[in-house]
Structure 1
């Protein structure tokens, strides 16, 4: 009969084992539901182990009410905690009445600092009471929690460290050693504590705790405590917690020989907890235009602050969403794809297909979509458009423009030294019309891309290719006609969207604030990580940066080298993914990046992932990886170098009347002067310089790709390839996007597919003043190359883009860049 009674009793002996030991002034305060010094990591940690405050990532408010009917004892407690400047801060106030002891109020303040694996915390407690001895008491606690692994938590707490005493009131120093284990996963947690007073280790009290998440949002807890000597009673506690995202309610029942305790706890939190899920799951909207256009404000960018590249953020969102059991459907709102060319469009499409493969339902709603946008939309289960949607789905084209005729009229001559007939970048300013190799290269790329695009749409919509050509022939197709041709599943009004979502996911609950992994982190220890190092934009010396208005991005060699060194040294990083989205730039900066990739690859797996572009200098950096991934439409290759210089005598001298005389002390002293054209000797000297640089380039390609050097020379010479064509020629290892590269890095690092890894970006571009401060490492110091002059004015850049000209090719120096500005529409 006594055992049956004990099964109905809870006591905080497991949470705070000092509860059953009578003393003139008990310092434990309000009884907590089942927990342990090694397990507690909420605002209530202030009462048990202040180190637990450090595991908060938001703010929490707890209210606890305790009542013991047999002793007529009542306790109330309010606990508040938050995270501020990396510290866990907490404060509480507890009122204890009717325990056969003096009534008192306990006020506590605490803080904790450290990392996810180790936290050190301290707490101060002050007592107020009508009893004069109790009223003068204050004590200190010191706690330590270590969570070195996902399945292990260790705690050590010294309570009442100062052992205060005032008259008859005395608080003896106590020690609490705690162990927490998770033998399966985060759903099941076991805790063991040993609490003892100073000088009486054997007379201590053992507590055993079990917490289990039965289903998301419903947790059960149980604990039992006992001693190994006479005078330490047996106590038991059972508890149940129901969680919604921001609110939780706990009821615990238990006690010991002196009666039954009832404890009710109410939680309010800014952090989202795993909650009871609606039957149909969550449906959310993903506004691709908004997410891809998002970034840092111009003011913050000017001050040197920036965020992760919007596209990389979107890729991570899609990867995590595919694994989220809460999510059942996604509505893709499509109004544009800023900064996305065909390579990233293919990558987005694959990510959407992975969403569907994971069991999510996907619906695309088109407000505006060209061929790229429609191609991404074909990955969805259903495609709808609003009646007035702009749908210029009219096929692919590329425009080759040259300014040679304009330069002739201006009197500007261009000196060019290059290797390879396909390295046609100088032709944009030096030629009157595109050369045949230029036309051949672009034609071949377009043919490959059209075949790939047609196949993807035909398979998705189950139409023959001729049907897509009929759509193309329409030009600016209206939504109704696209539906008639079978390329839309319907034309809808915005007011009909809710009904369509209900058809797609019956019972689903629409939630605009959804974000993957937005629930409170209950995992112990630190996840191992894959570091993504971006090479985005034109390659140059110095640090990666972007202008305040977001018009240009520079992939700085110093930033990339630093990021690779950091990832190489970080023990939590198991592998590196080099994300390349660059048409190249300075040869020296590209070579420095390549050498840094080679060095990192000696220590950890390095996988290269190519986006829209990984050409010339971009390919140079990527080829140092263990494996190179590209997408079918990725523009890559363009292995070649050139140097270009204007001769302005015709414009400045003959047309504007400027006069210049040169006084030379060596035959080639004004080799790079921009006044007159090169002499034959000067042309020969620069050509030899460029050819030597090209020879280094193809030698490194041959070594890394295990190809004959003559074979590399045949497929190089500035020729641009699609990702598929590059793989057929041995320049690329596999077809795949960023997530495929991350998976390959995981595999090469020997990480189990079941292990949850974090993906972190190291080395993002920064703002205008980002180059201030900081000391580079030895290898990074080599990357402190001269930064290029300030960017050309944006109006001139916009005009140049319209004309198909990349102004970066006009900067001084040997270039390893894409031979032309290729925009496929």
Structure 2
């Protein structure tokens, strides 16, 4: 059976139909079963409540049910003269795939009369639903398993449903066997206009019936007629957990300092809300017609400037539609938090906090002196001058080329921050720069110079908003849910993530005690292949927020993306950083979106190793080498490269650099000369990268998704679903291994920090990685 909105409305005793029209109609009002075909919960999206009253001859029935996603609860009461009967049920579905689901119902039955109670008993229902196409569905199952009541016997059933013209015409055929008796039933449903449904049905016993109902996005009301039975049914749908008819809504978001692209799946860590989740909630509030005010409570933010710009675009969108946006900064105000807050109508802060918008600050660590101290000699081959990542091992300070590109990038970022604040706060840009140069300020001083609109304690905000916005209805977070009946699957856009350092093998998350994300080529390739094979996925958006990593792993991912690209549009969305190996894989896209503050480029490679002979001598360790082959010791660490070995390394690095540039030239339709001019390991901002033809458009992940929808041929008015692949690891780990893995990332000293963070860069492989992976304050 496939459940739609009107099954109870048109139900009569011993009836089960394939074309029933809402998951809440799994509540049946006859003694031998309450919940009907729970497998259909697998196809349901949203939340509903249902109230039903029916009368069949002298039998009166009333019931209530509630369904949310894959779980349902119901209770019903039946009266037949002196007989009384209570039923309560719990339904659970198992969604094996978007097209196939199974269900389990456990029912408790409490028969009795006004003068006597009978023994209660329980039953179980099992069901399967399969919808291979938008026009065809099958179902099968059994009801009342384990019944101990003589009048409640086990039933078996199956059904077939056909829908045409987007559900305007539907046909259903069902078979039921009970007590060795077969019954057949047919159903015809017509929807002549939107919101009106007419249905007629009959079965092999000669029974017939019909009815109609009216429905909209918020609910349903209808009735049915049968010679022996009449019913009235009401269903309330809930598109938003706190939505009411009020048009004066104030939506409040309490942002966290950072959000993962994919929630962690490690032990003791909550999965939480992903970055795309919170961005979508903000977007929904920004476009909602019933929302008048949006309030953000923000701490010190660790999001990238590119992510801040994506959130800021939604704030600007809200303001453009006439909404009032207020930001309350709880704690000291830093540059990132104020950059985001400047897009709001009003900015509030804590009276005792400091205004510490002092600009941007980058700090790097160079280990050459430390390595000399312990007798370790780094050896590096790189392409080219701007590929300064190995300088952290070979230098005590940055090279002139590194200083040049760093100053250029920070200057561009600082200029954008100042001009954005000036525009949003209606202050001259030069004055903004002067104010920042004189920071930090007290809270009162920041208000006097016009950076802050009000100083308030957190406990004062509720009364303040009531005064400002005429006692609005307050909602924490926001997000409308669409209702999916499971018949016609909406086309999907897959959003994949390459967030962290690119390595071969499986992805790794930071663990319990911190560290860095690892984008495993095997993990990401499996997700790419799944997206390629799934016919309902029409396009793929790859979100790249990576400084790069292994050149080989980047090539592996690039190849998988190329195969995907032959069949489906591939759109790239760059986050805070998509550089070196991150740009390597991004070059495979049909179109690349970036924010102006994105760090990208760094087209170059290097290989490094550490010569440890002096350290061994210092520690009194003797090393004896035996080799067969002129270059057998090329990856050894007890002695330096010979001239021949260095020549081989130069050749390998040059070849990897050539391949990298080829990937860029082919992906971006550039000549080799044009690529070399913008390569050499040089880092570009997203804005500059667009000028250099490394990026196509300025925009965030929403713009990338909309472009993917356009390129895949989906109509602009058609709703889409976003498919993500949860978890970073492609396999489960035993409990002891998960704990051991997490503890191994604990940073308990400066030496541990250095060794853990830089360990991937010390392997004997060719790296395409950003010259630095810094945190800008």
Where does residue 693 of structure 2 map in the other structure?
730
Q: 1:705 aligns with which of 668, 677, 681?
A: 668
Is 1:221 the counterpart of 2:222 in the alignment? yes
Q: Which has the larger radius of gyration?
A: 1
2:45–2:485 CA contact under 8 A, matched in 1: no
1:394: Cα distance to partner? 0.3
* Distance apart, 1:759 and its partner CA: 1.2
Q: Is the 8 A contact 2:187 2:202 kept in 1?
A: yes
Matches of 2:473 and 2:366, distance apart in 1: 55
1:745 shift after superposition: 0.5
2:502 to 536, 539, 564: 539
Q: How far 1:646 moved relative to its partner?
A: 1.1
Q: 2:66 — aligned with what?
A: none
Q: 2:777 aligned with 1:814, yes or no?
A: no
Q: Is the 8 A contact 1:292 1:337 kept in 2?
A: no
Aligned to 1:264: none
**How far apart are the structure 2 equivalents of 1:457 and 1:505?**
26
Q: Deviations over 1:526-546 (max 9, x none)?
A: 222111111111101111121
1:450 corresponds to: 414
3-state SS, counterpart of residue 583 of structure 1: strand
Structure 2 vs 1, CA of residues 308 and 680 (structure 1 numbering), >3 Å: closer, same or farther? Answer: farther
Matched with 1:824 is: 776
Of residues 253, 259, 277, the one that matches 2:245 is 277
Counterpart-to-counterpart distance in 2, 1:751 and 1:18? 38
Aligned residue in 2 for 1:179: 189
Q: Distance in 1 between matches of 2:8 and 2:756?
A: 70
Is 2:623 aligned against 1:660?
yes
1:568 is displaced (CA, Å) by 0.9
Which residue of 2 is the match for residue 605 of structure 1? Answer: 569
Q: Higher mean Cα deviation, 575-584 or 375-384?
A: 375-384
Distance 2:376 2:152 in 1: 89
Partner of 1:288: 256
364-373 vs 535-544, which moves further: 364-373
Q: 2:657 aligns with which of 686, 694, 699?
A: 694
**Separation of aligned partners in 1, 2:261 and 2:562:** 34
Quickly say closer, same or farther: Cα 1:712–1:482, change in 2 above 3 A. same
**Which residue of the other structure, out of 267, 273, 281, is the alignment partner of 1:299?**
267
Aligned-pair CA distance for 1:146 = 5.2
**1:310-366 deviation per Cα after TM superposition (whole angstroms, max 9, x unaligned):** 32332333334445555443321111224x222222222223323444554322110
Task: Give the SS at the match of 1:394.
Answer: coil
The 3-state SS of whatever aligns with 2:575 is: strand
Q: Which residue matches 2:591?
A: 627
Equivalent residue, structure 1, for 2:431: 467
Counterpart residue number, 1:162:
178
Note the 1:234-273 alignment, pairs <5 A: 243=236
Q: 2:713 aligns with which of 736, 750, 768?
A: 750
Q: Could you tell me whether the CA contact under 8 Å between 1:41 and 1:53 is conserved in 2? A: no
1:718 equivalenced with 2:681 (yes/no): yes
For the 8 Å contact 1:544–1:555, the answer to whether it is kept is yes
The one of 377, 381, 387 aligned to 1:423: 387
From 8, 20, 27, give the equivalent of 1:38: 20
Q: Unaligned regions of 5+ residues in structure 2, if any?
A: 62-76, 79-86, 96-101, 115-119, 736-740
Q: Distance in 1 between matches of 2:561 and 2:200?
A: 48
Match of 1:778 in 2: none
Aligned mate of 2:348, from 379, 384, 402: 384
Deviations 1:93-122 (A, max 9, x none): 598999xxxxxx999753433367756253
- Comparing 606-615 and 401-410, the one that deviates more: 401-410
Gaps of 5+ in 1: 1-11, 20-25, 30-34, 99-104, 165-170, 226-232, 246-270, 773-787
Matched residues, number: 722
SS of the equivalent of 1:351 reads helix
Change (3 A) 1:693 1:139: closer
Cα distance, 1:731–1:508 mapped onto 2, change above 3 Å: same
RMSD of Structure 2 on Structure 1 (CA) = 4.1
Matches of 2:721 and 2:163 in 1, distance apart? 16
Q: Residues 373-415 of structure 1: CA distance to partner in whole angstroms, max 9, x if unpaired?
A: 1111122222110112343210112234422233333332211
CA shift for structure 1 position 665: 2.5
The alpha carbon displacement at 1:292 in A equals: 6.0
Matched, 1:112 2:135: no
Distance 2:531 2:629 in 1: 47
TM-score normalised over the length of structure 2:
0.82
The match for 1:780 is none
Q: Which residue of 1 aligns with 2:402?
A: 438
Q: Does 1:341 align with 2:304?
A: yes
Question: Cα distance 1:467–1:182, how it changes in 2: closer, same or farther (>3 A)?
Answer: farther
> Take 1:206 and 1:625, find their aligned partners in 2: how far apart are those partners?
57
Residue pair 2:128, 2:141 contacting (<8 A) in 1 also: no
Q: Residues of 2 paired with 1:524 and 1:362: CA distance?
A: 39
Aligned-pair CA distance for 1:669: 1.8
TM-score (norm 1): 0.78
| Compared CA separation, residues 798 and 731, structure 1 to 2 (3 A) | farther
| 1:80 corresponds to 2:83 | no
8 Å Cα contact 2:248-2:473 kept in structure 1: yes
Residue of structure 2 equivalent to 1:498: 462
Q: Which residue of 1 aligns with 2:609?
A: 645
2-side partners of 1:553 and 1:195: how far apart?
61
